[in-house]
Amino acid sequence: MQQEPHDSHYMELALQQAALAPHMGEVPIGAVLVHNHEVIAADHNYREVSQDPTAHAEMIVIRKAAERLQTWRLTETTLYVTLEPCPMCAGAIVQSRIARLVFGAWDPKAGACGSIFDIPAERRLNHRVQVLGGLLEQESRELLQEFFRAKRGTLSESSSPPKSAS
């Protein structure tokens, strides 16, 4: 799928959402859902805050958009997300009939839109999603790397033995 003129702008908005997540202790993944060039929903992960394994940015944005548009059929929409969706989110994207998916960083460990699985392109499903991966990939990856670097630093500091007074 080819990049469209406004894709970078909306991906920047998803990156802005992702940047808010670490302040809440969340992994920096952001999502924005657009319909007719209007942002319908935007958010980031809330798994830690809500202790809900389904509180991925994509799932939250899909729920908000369905509520706002008063339909579960999110046809003619584009979802922008900073990390390649997992199997759960990819399934929700297909089930909600989202037309296009644009994501930043590829996820070689859990990606379900081309890395490990390719759920949006699965021919046996009744809906296929156009997918563009790798848009603002470096920026998306850097947010994640920064977060986990800081998290590992905090973990190693808290697990190191106390220094004895000399």
pLDDT tens digits, residue range 11-34? 999 999 999 999 999 999 999 999
| pLDDT, average across residues 99-115 | 97
What is the Cα–Cα distance from 92 to 88, expressed in whole angstroms? 6
> pLDDT value at position 158?
52
Catalytic residue annotation: 58
Burial class (CB in 10 A: 0-12, 13-18, 19+), 136: buried
What is the Cα–Cα distance from 101 to 103, expressed in whole angstroms? 7
- SS3 category, 60: helix
